[in-house]
């Protein structure tokens, strides 16, 4: 809905790659999806290439892809809708809160697992990590990006 509203209000289309999220750890899911924000469709810049001028959208959503820590998978076993539980009940139990916190931490660690010092890296490096996470057919050795 947000992508449609941005296109309607600002005329800027956002092209999303494959989005595959879910609560089944044995499925072909990702932790994030990558999109291209096509600023060049409305703001033509004669001195810049469109690919340089366009933006990147990294959409991160709680999902199970397999390999999550045992306590997260145990919570999912007892609560099959996790991590896609309805948000109408704002009173989280301690186990529910901790499962979402631990999953979020695990997701970011997985996306950035090859970065030597995650706190010192920039957004461009994170973007490369997220793109490679989405396209698992790529070589996930990101040390090459530091060269």
Encode pLDDT of 106-132 as tens digits: 998 888 775 555 554 567 777 777 777
Burial of 130 (0-12, 13-18, 19+ CB in 10 A): buried
Q: What is the per-residue burial (b if ≥16 Cβ within 10 Å, else e) of 64-80?
A: bbeebeeebbebbeeee
Picking from 23, 21, 51, the residue whose alpha carbon sits closest to that of residue 36 is 51
Which DSSP state fits 118? G
Encode pLDDT of 63-113 as tens digits: 998 889 999 999 999 999 999 888 787 788 999 999 999 999 999 888 877
Q: What is the per-residue burial (b if ≥16 Cβ within 10 Å, else e) of 32-46?
A: bbbbbbbbbeeeeee
- Which pLDDT score is estimated for 74? 95
Q: Token pair for residue 47?
A: 């001195």
User: What average pLDDT does the structure give for the chain?
Assistant: 78
Encode pLDDT of 33-69 as tens digits: 888 898 888 877 666 665 667 888 888 889 998 889 9
User: Count of domains in the chain?
Assistant: 1
- Which pLDDT score is estimated for 121? 57
Question: What are the distances in angstroms from CA 8 to CA 26, 39, 45, 78, 132?
Answer: 37, 14, 21, 42, 30
- Which pLDDT score is estimated for 103? 95
**Domain of 51?**
2-146
């Amino acid at each position: 809905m947000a992508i449609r509203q941005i296109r309607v209000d600002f005329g800027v289309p956002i092209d999303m790659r494959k989005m595959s999220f879910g609560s089944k750890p044995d499925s072909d899911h990702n932790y994030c999806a990558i999109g291209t924000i096509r600023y060049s469709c409305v703001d033509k810049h004669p001195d810049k290439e469109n690919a340089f001028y366009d933006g990147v959208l990294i959409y991160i959503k709680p999902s199970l892809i397999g390999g999550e820590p045992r306590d997260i998978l145990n919570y999912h076993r007892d609560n099959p809708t996790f991590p896609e539980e309805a948000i109408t009940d704002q009173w989280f139990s301690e186990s529910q809160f901790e499962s979402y916190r631990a999953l979020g931490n695990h997701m970011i660690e997985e996306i950035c697992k090859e970065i030597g010092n995650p706190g010192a890296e920039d957004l461009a490096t994170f973007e490369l990590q997220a793109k490679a996470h989405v396209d698992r057919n790529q070589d996930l050795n990101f040390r090459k990006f530091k060269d």
